[in-house]
Amino acid sequence: MSCQSHNATAPSPAIAPGCGDLDTSAIAAAIGSRGIDSRISTLIPGFDAPFFQAGLAGYSDAAMRLVARRHGCPMCVTEALLDRTLLAGGRGFDKADLGDLHDNVPGGPDDHPLCVQIMGSEPREMAAAAVKLIEQRQRSDREYRLLALTNDEPSSRPIQHLRDPGGRQVGPWPPSDGFSDEERRFAAAMEMTARRPGGTAGFQCIDVNLACPVKKIEKKARGGHWLAEPRGAIAILEAVREAVPKEIPCTVKLRRSFDDTPEMAENFERIFASLSSIGYAWATVHARTVQQKYIGPSRWDFLRDLVRRYPNNIIFGSGDVWSVHEIFRMIHYTGVHAVSVARGCIGNPWIFRQAREMMAGRLPSSPTIAEQRAAMLMHFDISLAVTRRFRHGEEATSRMMRKFGIKFAQHHPKGDEIRKRMIDVSSAEAWRGILDEYYGA
């Protein structure tokens, strides 16, 4: 689960000079009356408010998403799924593996709209993985692997679909020396997919991860490392967009740069400038560098500058959103079209309810003890129901829920005591026992 943060710092304010004194109530009410940018709700019906639950490896599974939605969250993103794991049907790749595939299947009819995030090192593997997600396994695993041409040496193939930032195709497509048999099959399959009427069974959107600070494997870039290799990043973006049916939006998650050198800033610019011509609906920009991982402040001033320089792009912001007030501060200060709520919503689904309350001109209400109990029971029960369908038993689910319990405890006056108790939870009975003891039976 390499996207996870083992080194995150405690909540701290973002770099946003002059942002401290903003009147978030007035800002929220104004946003409430104008609503979300209509381009967004047209692309993804149901995405009706300018915030959403971020991809969070190890957290944002179907259970967390459903709890968030029941508290007013209008849209969710899955954690990053590795293309190779998807193509292999979820097996293997131990250390290279990210999210657990089973935790990311759509959690029933209520778990929409849902954006699935993919990450990988080879344009064709990424394209085939995206097709597989959209089709929801209409073909055999073998067919999807064939689409990705995993039998040959992918890294020795030239990049096929390259375009420059102005949209001009600069890569050799179709290749001047003709197609190989495999390439012909690939092209035919992709074309067939593109013509298929939009059967959006599970996911309404494909999000390409160019942000995760996960280490390279076998010297191959993936996630945020692509920000140091713009040509490859653009090839991946191209390949995925070309493979996915036109009616399904493709989006991208990036960091503000790989690091703070001028060279990397230029790389970001090159990738970002290419997005609309390739056909990406929006970009979520995490305003930390890849090198920063999750340490130190995010730079909202960078987001503000980016929004000003790309007035026609839809841009979402991420980084240092710890409470409902930061949702509205970020929108007002930076001009982003929506805010990605990440660590600020772990064990805190009320942030979404509070955002809706503020948009309706009301004060944000803190969760009562009874509401905390209800949400914690709901989260545990859904988690158990979802994971039982697959492979986890009650004990594994209970252990997994400890990290949520610890976060939920922050809302309780006896939070420190509850946190200590949560550490030992290994059964549904123990979870409910803590609820009965501290949250009323």
Ligand X SMILES: Cc1cc2nc3c(=O)[nH]c(=O)nc-3n(C[C@H](O)[C@H](O)[C@H](O)COP(=O)(O)O)c2cc1C
Q: Are the C-beta atoms of 288 and 299 separated by less than 8 Å? A: yes
CB of 4 or CB of 200, closer to ligand X: 4
Minimum distance from CB of 119 to ligand X (Å)? 8
Greatest alpha-carbon span in the chain: 73
- Report the nearest approach of ligand X to the CB of residue 45 (Å): 23
Q: How far apart are CA 356 and CA 349, in angstroms?
A: 12
- Name the residues that contact ligand X, by CB under 6 A: 3-5, 8, 54-58, 79-80, 117, 209, 211-212, 253, 286, 294, 298, 318-321, 340, 342-344
Comparing CB distances to ligand X, the nearer of 146 and 249 is 249
In 3D space, the residue among 297, 305, 356 whose CA is nearest the CA of residue 327 turns out to be 356
- Least distance in angstroms from the C-beta of 299 to ligand X: 12
Of 264, 196, 206, nearest in space to 230 by CA: 264
Shortest distance, position 207 Cβ to ligand X, whole Å: 7
Residues 131, 192 contacting (CB under 8 angstroms): no
In angstroms, what is the minimal distance from the CB of 351 to ligand X?
11
* Residue 124 vs 255, nearer CB to ligand X: 255
Name the token pair of 137. 């396994």
Instruction: Select 51 or 186, whichever has its Cβ closest to ligand X.
Output: 51
Give bridge partners of residue 315 from the DSSP assignment: 283
Cβ at position 280, least distance to ligand X in Å: 15
User: Could you tell me the smallest distance in angstroms from the CB atom of residue 224 to ligand X?
Assistant: 10
- Length of the chain, in residues: 441
Of the chain, the end-to-end C-alpha distance in Å amounts to 36
Cis peptide bond prior to 113, omega within 30° of 0: yes
Provide CB contacts within 8 A for 297, sequence distance 6+: 12, 13, 14, 15, 288, 319, 320
Task: Give Cβ neighbours of residue 22 (< 8 Å, ≥ 6 apart).
Answer: 328, 329, 332, 333
CA distances for 112 relative to 60, 158, 187, 202, 326, angstroms? 14, 38, 31, 8, 25
Instruction: State the DSSP code for 3.
Output: T
Q: Which of 87, 281, 86, 108 is nearest to 201 (CA)?
A: 108
Nearer to ligand X, 146 or 208 (CB): 208
Q: Considering the complex, state which of residue 202 and residue 344 has its C-beta at the smaller distance from ligand X.
A: 344
Beta strand 283-289 pairing with 250-257: parallel
Nearer to ligand X, 157 or 403 (CB): 403
Instruction: Please give the DSSP secondary-structure letter assigned to residue 56.
Output: -
| Residue closer to ligand X, measured from CB, 27 or 321 | 321
Phi, psi of 174 (to 5 degrees): -70, 155
Q: Minimal distance in Å, beta carbon 329 to ligand X?
A: 12
373 contacts 313 by C-beta, under 8 angstroms:
no
Q: How far is the CB of 266 from ligand X (least distance, A)?
A: 23
Nearer to ligand X, 16 or 212 (CB): 212
Q: At what angle do helices 415-422 and 428-439 cross, to 10 degrees?
A: 170
Nearer to ligand X, 5 or 150 (CB): 5
- Number of C-beta neighbours around residue 162 at 10 A: 20
Treating both helix axes as pointing N-terminal to C-terminal, what angle do 62-70 and 369-388 enclose, rounded to 10 degrees? 140
- Considering the complex, state which of residue 286 and residue 392 has its C-beta at the smaller distance from ligand X: 286
What is the residue whose two structure tokens read 């059964």?
427
Taking the complex as a whole, how short is the minimal distance between the CB of residue 431 and ligand X, in angstroms? 22
For ligand X, which residue has the nearest CB?
55
Q: How far is the CB of 321 from ligand X (least distance, A)?
A: 4
